[in-house]
Amino acid sequence: MATKSSSPSLFTSPLTINQLIDVLDLLKRCGFPQTRWHELGLRLGLHKNTLDAIGKNHPGDVARCLTETLSKWLSRADNVDTKGGATFDSLSDALKFMNENAAAVKLDQEITTSSGSSTASTSQTRRKTEEGVTYNPDQAHEVMTENALLIKGCGIDLNFLIDKLLEHKIINARKKKEVTDGYCGKTEGERIDELLQIISSSIELDGEVFGIFIDILRKENTRNTIAVANKLMEKYKLKMK
> What's 49's domain CATH number?
1.10.533.10
Amino acid at 146: E
Q: Do 96 and 15 fall within a single domain?
A: yes
Give the closest residue to 145 by CA, choosing from 232, 234, 238.
232
First to last CA, the chain: 37
For residues 18-38, average pLDDT: 90
pLDDT band (50, 70, 90) for residue 12: low
Q: Do 62 and 90 fall within a single domain?
A: yes
Q: Do 6 and 109 fall within a single domain?
A: yes
Q: pLDDT tens across 172-181, in order?
A: 988 888 888 7
* Whether residue 9 has pLDDT greater than 70: no
Question: Does residue 222 lie within any of the structural domains?
Answer: yes
Question: Does residue 152 lie within any of the structural domains?
Answer: yes
Helices (H), the chain: 2-5, 8-12, 20-29, 37-43, 48-57, 62-74, 88-97, 101-113, 115-126, 137-146, 148-152, 158-167, 173-180, 188-205, 208-220, 223-240
Q: Do 100 and 184 fall within a single domain?
A: no
The pLDDT score that the predictor gives to residue 182 is 64
For residues 38-53, average pLDDT: 94
Q: How many domains would you assign to the chain?
A: 2
* Whether residue 161 has pLDDT greater than 90: yes
Question: Does residue 119 lie within any of the structural domains?
Answer: no
Give the closest residue to 30 by CA, choosing from 117, 114, 118, 108.
108
Q: Do 228 and 152 fall within a single domain?
A: yes
Q: Do 56 and 149 fall within a single domain?
A: no
Domain boundary among 65, 82, 113: 113
Q: What is the CATH number of the domain that holds 210?
A: 1.10.533
* Whether residue 45 has pLDDT greater than 70: yes
Domain boundary among 63, 78, 113: 113
Please give the Cα distance from 72 to 121 (Å, whole number).
Answer: 25
For residues 46-57, average pLDDT: 94
Q: Do 108 and 152 fall within a single domain?
A: no
The pLDDT score that the predictor gives to residue 5 is 40
Q: Any idea how long the chain is?
A: 241
213 neighbors 143 (Cβ within 8 angstroms): no
* Whether residue 24 has pLDDT greater than 80: yes
For residues 209-238, average pLDDT: 91
* Whether residue 18 has pLDDT greater than 60: yes
Percentage of residues in the chain having pLDDT higher than 70 = 85
* Whether residue 26 has pLDDT greater than 80: yes
pLDDT band (50, 70, 90) for residue 131: very low
pTM: 0.47
Where in the sequence is the domain holding 17, given as residue range(s)?
2-113
The pLDDT score that the predictor gives to residue 38 is 94
Domain boundary among 113, 143, 168: 113
Question: Does residue 122 lie within any of the structural domains?
Answer: no
Q: pLDDT tens across 100-122, in order?
A: 888 888 887 777 766 544 444 44
Q: Do 191 and 221 fall within a single domain?
A: yes
pLDDT band (50, 70, 90) for residue 206: confident
